[in-house]
Amino acid sequence: MSYKLFIPGPVEVSAKTYAAMTTPVFGHRSKDFVELYNSVQPGLQALFGTKDPVFISTSSAWGVMEGAVRNLVRKKVLNCCSGAFSDKWFDVSKRCGKEAEALSYEWGTPVDPADIRAKLATGDFDAITLIHNETSTGTMNPIREIMDVIRDFPEVVSIVDCVSSFSAVPLPKDELGIDVLLCGSQKALALPPGMALFSVSQRALDRARELPDRGYYFDFIEFLSNHEKGMTPSTPVIPLIFALRSKLEDIFAEGLENRYTRHSALNALVHAWVERAGFELLPPRAFASKTLTCVKNNRGIDVAALNAGLKQRYNCVIDGGYGKLKGKTFRISNMGDETEESIRTLLEQIDRVLADLGTGA
Ligand SMILES: *Cc1c(COP(=O)(O)O)cnc(C)c1O
């Protein structure tokens, strides 16, 4: 059974990407591998907006999210919490045995740079975690304004998750002064799950070198020394690296600016539908994500029935709300390879299912 995914991850994977994954593997210490590894670096560095290496981890994003805490938190970490993923990062920091404090907001409320300034000014912290695009609530945090604040605190290493926004909106790591920028494969990049990508600043690597108990699998210094040989610390998920190489071709064939514009236009289509259909966005409009839409179920529709109808009649699925927002919201992704046609078609299908449920606009 296969159906088209409009959930905010994993998202729909193209036939070209799947085909790339069937390339026969070779040894991960071979010249062929080094060639493959090095071939994706320039594209990745352009996407990350960085001169630093981009490391490839065989794990989902959480591996690197946890690893960053282990590698970089010496004194205390400030976890910005405003949704399921960011709340979890606070929990994970404590599970790693680190001193941690949550800067908490209602789900759907963006993180306020002034609050970060007040917290960091205490001098208690040497690291901060931030989720750029909180996928659970469809909220995009004001990264420029936030980084303008964090850069005023040289002791504080910034760890930024862009799992569901990477390559869909500009996020120039070096220009913004982000120390660790990380993403996973199965969301904005539209690859199958199983791989994470991350780039680490020189000063964060210097910090990591001084910290004990970094473990092995996610040790940033292991990643660096292997990177210098065009390799990864352990056997990587080579088929996904073939998929990544193929996806980078697609991204640069489309052009970065065109890709950003497409995501923004598709997102605007969904927003216009939300208004037309009498729904509201969960976050304030100015902070609404560009890669997915979290719709408040202010009309009290049966979200589960809507999704069941979409699946049965049109062979596609949206998301019925994450965690405590299940049924109170629903989410529609416009990540990856979506087009004006695919989004318009989905919105028409949603209208038809809602009409049949007797809850049409
Ligand atoms: C999905 C997601 C994660 C977790 O990704 P995994 O692949 O499940 O590890 C982390 N952060 C954000 C913002 C996400 O959307």
Rounded to the nearest whole angstrom, what is the distance from the C-alpha of residue 195 to the centroid of ligand 1? 11
pLDDT of residue 269: 98
pLDDT of residue 223: 98
Rounded to the nearest whole angstrom, what is the distance from the C-alpha of residue 225 to the centroid of ligand 1? 27
* Averaged pLDDT, 106-115: 98
Alpha helices in 96-230 (DSSP H): 113-120, 143-150, 173-176, 202-210, 220-227
Q: Whose CA is nearest to atom 12 of ligand 1?
A: 163
Angstrom distance (rounded) from CA 273 to CA 283: 16
Q: Whose CA is nearest to atom 5 of ligand 1?
A: 61
Rounded to the nearest whole angstrom, what is the distance from the C-alpha of residue 61 to the centroid of ligand 1? 6
Q: Which of 60, 112, 104 shows the shortest CA–CA distance to 83?
A: 104
Structure-token match 């569901």, residue found = 164
State if residue 41 touches ligand 1 by the CB under 6 angstroms criterion.
no
Q: pLDDT digits over 19-33, tens only?
A: 999 999 999 999 999
Rounded to the nearest whole angstrom, what is the distance from the C-alpha of residue 18 to the centroid of ligand 1? 21
Q: 335: which 2 tokens?
A: 């990540």
Rounded to the nearest whole angstrom, what is the distance from the C-alpha of residue 231 to the centroid of ligand 1? 25
Burial class (CB in 10 A: 0-12, 13-18, 19+), 96: middle
State if residue 85 touches ligand 1 by the CB under 6 angstroms criterion.
yes
Strand partners for 81: 104
Q: State yes or no: pLDDT of 112 exceeds 90.
A: yes
Q: pLDDT digits over 320-353, tens only?
A: 999 999 999 999 999 999 999 999 999 999 999 9
Run of H or E including 56? strand 54-57
Residues above pLDDT 70, as percent of the chain: 99
Residues 6+ positions from 321 with CB-CB distance below 8 Å: 297, 303, 327, 328, 329, 330, 331
Q: State yes or no: pLDDT of 361 exceeds 60.
A: no
Rounded to the nearest whole angstrom, what is the distance from the C-alpha of residue 30 to the centroid of ligand 1? 31
Angstrom distance (rounded) from CA 101 to CA 198: 24
Mutate which of 163, 290, 319 for ligand 1 pocket (most atoms within 8 A of beta carbon): 163
Q: 2: which 2 tokens?
A: 């296969």
Q: pLDDT digits over 214-229, tens only?
A: 999 999 999 999 999 9
Alpha helices in the chain (DSSP H): 15-20, 31-48, 61-72, 84-95, 113-120, 143-150, 173-176, 202-210, 220-227, 238-254, 256-276, 303-314, 340-356
State if residue 184 touches ligand 1 by the CB under 6 angstroms criterion.
yes
Q: State yes or no: pLDDT of 315 exceeds 70.
A: yes
Q: State yes or no: pLDDT of 1 exceeds 90.
A: no
Q: State yes or no: pLDDT of 87 exceeds 90.
A: yes
Rounded to the nearest whole angstrom, what is the distance from the C-alpha of residue 157 to the centroid of ligand 1? 21
Q: State yes or no: pLDDT of 274 exceeds 90.
A: yes
Angstrom distance (rounded) from CA 308 to CA 187: 23
State if residue 57 touches ligand 1 by the CB under 6 angstroms criterion.
no
Q: pLDDT digits over 146-169, tens only?
A: 999 999 999 999 999 999 999 999
Q: Whose CA is nearest to atom 14 of ligand 1?
A: 163
Mean pLDDT of the chain: 97
pLDDT of residue 32: 98
State if residue 161 touches ligand 1 by the CB under 6 angstroms criterion.
yes
Residues above pLDDT 90, as percent of the chain: 98
Rounded to the nearest whole angstrom, what is the distance from the C-alpha of residue 340 to the centroid of ligand 1? 26
pLDDT of residue 359: 75
Rounded to the nearest whole angstrom, what is the distance from the C-alpha of residue 240 to the centroid of ligand 1? 17
Angstrom distance (rounded) from CA 39 to CA 241: 10
pLDDT of residue 358: 85
Q: State yes or no: pLDDT of 144 exceeds 80.
A: yes
* Averaged pLDDT, 233-251: 98
State if residue 60 touches ligand 1 by the CB under 6 angstroms criterion.
yes
Is the distance from CB of 319 to CB of 279 less than 8 angstroms? Answer: no
Q: Which atom of ligand 1 is nearest the CA belonging to 133?
A: 13
Is the distance from CB of 185 to CB of 198 less than 8 angstroms? Answer: no
Q: Which of the four pLDDT bands, split at 50, 70 and 90, describes residue 360?
A: low
Structural domains of the chain ordered from first start = 4-10+255-356 (3.90.1150.10), 15-252 (3.40.640.10)
Q: State yes or no: pLDDT of 113 exceeds 60.
A: yes
State if residue 160 touches ligand 1 by the CB under 6 angstroms criterion.
no
Q: Which atom of ligand 1 is nearest the CA belonging to 164?
A: 15
Rounded to the nearest whole angstrom, what is the distance from the C-alpha of residue 60 to the centroid of ligand 1? 7
* Averaged pLDDT, 257-285: 98
pLDDT of residue 2: 85
